[in-house]
Amino acid sequence: MEIHQTKLEGVYLLEPNVYADDRGYFVETYNENVFKKAGIKEAFLQDNQSLSKQAGTLRGLHYQLNPNSQQKVVRCVTGAIFDVAVDIRQESPTYKQWVGVVLSEHNQRQLLVPKGFAHGFCTLVDDTIVAYKVDQLYSPQNDRGIRWNDPELAIEWPCSQPILSKKDRAHPLLHKAENNF
Ligand SMILES: Cc1cn([C@H]2C[C@H](O)[C@@H](COP(=O)(O)OP(=O)(O)O[C@H]3O[C@@H](C)C(=O)[C@@H](O)[C@H]3O)O2)c(=O)[nH]c1=O
């Protein structure tokens, strides 16, 4: 697995070795030693998976407050997503900047989203399954969101009228969001 720094410090693009043969493929999706060598030392406590039936489904932008702030490693099992990490730490030199990458069943790439970043994705094909590891447990009382199309962030989503949950339609803009993480 190769681990590349993106333009935002702490956000990594992971490129696993994919061993393809006549049967299909084999890939290590997580290896503790490789992560530790890259400086990612936190233990992952929870694995999540979601299915989005329609292309153009957008989930985000999500984060959790302390003490449940989460680092996430996101990958696409089936289908494809445009995956986004946004720096929402007010004291950061890259505050409000975002990184967007395509993660797909074909490229097997993963995105590491550190604490202090909001995360979201838009599905690019029908029946997309996303799986991700998190290093803190889900905490409904600390679960927060930011509006996906906040003009201050100007994220270039590949979908203009996405399918959203009721919750995701109601998130505040960044300047009104809580930022204890
Ligand atoms: C995130 C989460 C949700 N749930 C429950 C709460 C709710 O009833 C149901 C659906 O939750 P949501 O609508 O928040 O699911 P979803 O919109 O898929 O939320 C996810 O979006 C992506 C972008 C992330 O980054 C994730 O961390 C997570 O926030 O699942 C858990 O039980 N555990 C969890 O860890």
Domain containing residue 16: CATH number: 2.60.120.10
In a domain, 24, yes or no: yes
Spatial neighbors of 121 by CB under 8 A, at least 6 apart, are 58, 59, 60, 74, 81, 82, 83, 84, 103, 130
- The residues annotated as belonging to the active site are 62, 132
Rounded CA separation 156/97 (Å): 12
Q: For residue 16, is pLDDT > 90? A: yes
Residue 111: what pLDDT?
97
Most ligand 1 atoms within 8 A of CB, residue of 11, 48, 61, 168 to mutate: 48
Which domain range does residue 151 map to? 2-176
60 CA closest ligand 1 atom index? 23
Residue 54 lies in a domain: yes
pLDDT digits (tens, 9 = 90+) for 150-160: 999 999 999 98
Domains identified in the chain, total number? 1
Span from the CA of 175 to the centroid of ligand 1 (angstroms): 23
Quote the DSSP letter at residue 160: S
Q: Is the CB of 25 within 6 Å of ligand 1? A: no
Find, among 142, 94, 111, 118, the residue nearest to 40 by Cα. Answer: 111
pLDDT at 120 over 90: yes
Q: How confident is the model at residue 122 (pLDDT cuts 50, 70, 90)?
A: very high
Is 138 touching ligand 1 by the criterion CB < 6 Å?
Answer: yes
Span 2-27, average pLDDT: 96
Is there a domain that residue 181 lies in? no
DSSP character for 99? E
The answer to whether residues 50 and 59 touch, using CB atoms and an 8 Å cutoff, is: yes
- Does 109 map to a domain? yes
Q: What is the pLDDT of residues 17-55, one digit of tens each?
A: 999 999 999 999 999 998 898 888 889 999 999 999 999
Measured by CA distance, the residue closest to atom 35 of ligand 1 is 138
pLDDT in tens, 50-79: 999 999 999 999 999 999 999 999 999 999
Q: How far apart are the first and last CA of the chain?
A: 29
